[in-house]
A and B are shown apart, each in its own frame.
Chain A
Amino acid sequence: MLEVRNISKSFGGLKAVSDASLDVPEGSIVALLGPNGAGKTTCFTMIAGFTKPDTGTVTFRGEDITGLAPHQICARGMIRTFQIVQPFAGLTVEENIAVGAYLHHHDRADATALARKVGKQLGMGGMLDRPAASLTIAGRKRLELARALATGAKLLLLDEVMAGLIPSEVTEIVGIIRQIRDEGHTILLIEHVMQAVMSLAETAYVLNYGEMIAHAPPKELVQDPAVIEAYLGHGAATRLQEGGHA
């Protein structure tokens, strides 16, 4: 569904992402991993059209969308969420979701009805009339998801939707993401919470210093010396092996 080929982005002399490629097959959940500063979010911004890649192409549903504006990409069915949640603070939850729903429903009544439906699906039925500013972090993360879903997007790019959540909330949102996938959506997620990645993703990519260093199912990745060293430092893999616990 999504094919990213050799995209690169430099900020001044810093190569944030170099020659990264990844594939997201339709109906799958794919994770993008990597230590802080590895270039994951930069990858997302390039895929979703917020910044233009210096080189490389992004193909979505067979169409080259490299360099299109975010609203054009969104209209084609791909949407990103933000790592730092971005609610429309002055609006109610329902109004927030309705902004997403307006993309394909021009009438206010239709958009509002869809917003209520999506809100209830994500377990926000009781807070639809509350101002978004009053939500907890977990609520705001759900709101990001709900807004994205309301646009009718087929591919969701989720940027750390579980960061800052307590374990019980993580379990809830893992369930929600799985439910979203089962309804026919495709998901590419950036995540640090390994518990979630292990249970959700069929396959994962690992970025380090802007380069793709590994691509495998998550269970194999955690054994991969290159990945362990990316997270724990040079030589960590051998030391762990000698210590006897990987």
Chain B
Amino acid sequence: MKPTSMGQAVLIAAAVLYLVSVFFLSSPIWMGFSLNALIIAVVALSWNVTGGFGGLFSFGHAVMYGTGAYASAVLQVNYGVNAWIGLVAGIVAGAVMGAFIGAITFRFGLKGSYFALVTLAFAEVMRICASSFAFTGGGAGLQVKLDPGISTLQFQDRTVSYTLLLLVVAAVMILTAVMKNSRFGAYLIAIRENEDAARALGIDTYRIKVIAMAISGAFGGLAGVLYLQTMLYIDSTVVYGNAISVEALIGPLIGGAGTVWGPLVGTLGLHLLGEGAKHLLSNAPGLNFVLYAVVLICALRFLPQGLMGFAARIGPFRKKEEDDDNA
């Protein structure tokens, strides 16, 4: 997780500075916006596991997010289950959904754009299902009863919500770093770089990819539950919508896919940019996505390794012996 260059240190410092600034600028708008950005950062970190480290470009990560959110919401609203159990159920449901999609798509050897299209299809199918059945609230969605308290995972003080979200993001990033430096991480990266060579070196590529999808699904499901507990209301177009799938991949791609800090840096940067544009150029809805598209195209053209990859080349730190940890 440590930066390897001046450039990366500056980027990470900027992200941390921004995150800390929220505590001191007592602005509700700033706070609401930052809460949202942090939830999206968790989805971005989820996408980063498969898309960044595994090179499996999903275009439907909303499927994990929505499944986590709905699993928890259905349990809480329909069965009166405790929100903490809902949280665990959301994470598990996301992981199972991820593993399921992985198991069938990889069994048939799908990769590249075919994999992207199938994940998109899964997200759409789930969106339609969620808006069709009565137990998921149909088109009206599900609303969790307002009842602040630790046992219900609802917090009236947004500073508390924000602090907890920060801790969750930190935890997911630490897990990402642990994964990256493990045997599993090395295998996943090897698959991204060259799947045939990985197979020849004794890697059960199918198994590794399915596990990666499960981990990604767990993170994605977690993000969905975080959204639910923050907003207390979900419907199918919000949590299974394409917007989430796009946000999941755009942050890591711009920040630096396959790095620990990239998804967070990219998501925060983009949200700041989108929010700024909204205020400057009237409040046209969807304008932020136009801007994202322009930024994404520029990033893919000029920063193929994302901001973290670009920053790695600015003032590299001298490498010490036995210290080969690059962010």
Q: Which residues of A come within 8 Å of B, CB atoms?
A: 48, 50, 69-71, 74-75, 79-82, 86-91, 94-95, 98-100, 102-103, 106-108, 111-112, 129, 147-148, 151
Contact = CB atoms under 8 A, between A and B. Distances in A.
A213 to B, nearest CB: 28
A99 B200 CA distance: 11
Given A148-B201, A151-B201, 11 more contacts: A50-B200, A71-B202, A79-B200, A81-B200, A86-B196, A90-B192, A99-B201, A99-B203, A108-B186, A129-B324, A148-B200
Query: Which 8 residue pairs of A and B lie closest in terms of their CB atoms, listed nearest first?
Result: A74-B202, A88-B193, A86-B197, A103-B202, A99-B190, A71-B204, A70-B199, A102-B183
A87 B194 contact: yes
Most A CB within 10 A of own CB, among B182, B197, B204:
B197
Contact of A129 (B182, B203, B319): B319
B189 to A, nearest CB: 7
B189 A91 contact: yes
B200 A88 contact: no
B194 A88 contact: yes
Most B CB within 10 A of own CB, among A88, A98, A103:
A88
B187 A102 contact: yes
Contacts of B189: 88, 90-91, 95
Given A74-B202, A79-B202, A99-B198, A108 B182 contact: yes
B21 interface: no
B202 A75 contact: yes
Most A CB within 10 A of own CB, among B182, B197, B202, B324:
B202
Nearest to A89: B193
Contact of A74 (B181, B182, B186, B200): B200
Given A89-B194, A91-B189, A99-B190, A80 B202 contact: no
A81 B197 CA distance: 8
Interface residues of B, number: 22
B36 to A, nearest CB: 33
A71 B183 contact: no
Contacts of A71: 199, 202-205
A151 B202 CA distance: 8
Contacts of B183: 102, 106-108, 111
A69 B205 CA distance: 11
29 contacts: A70-B199, A70-B200, A71-B204, A86-B200, A87-B194, A87-B197, A88-B189, A88-B194, A88-B197, A89-B193, A90-B192, A91-B190, A91-B193, A95-B186, A99-B187, A99-B190, A99-B198, A99-B201, A99-B203, A100-B202, A102-B186, A103-B201, A103-B202, A106-B183, A108-B183, A112-B324, A129-B324, A147-B197, A148-B201
Contacts of B324: 94, 112, 129
A222 B268 CA distance: 68
Most B CB within 10 A of own CB, among A79, A81, A86, A129:
A86
A19 to B, nearest CB: 26
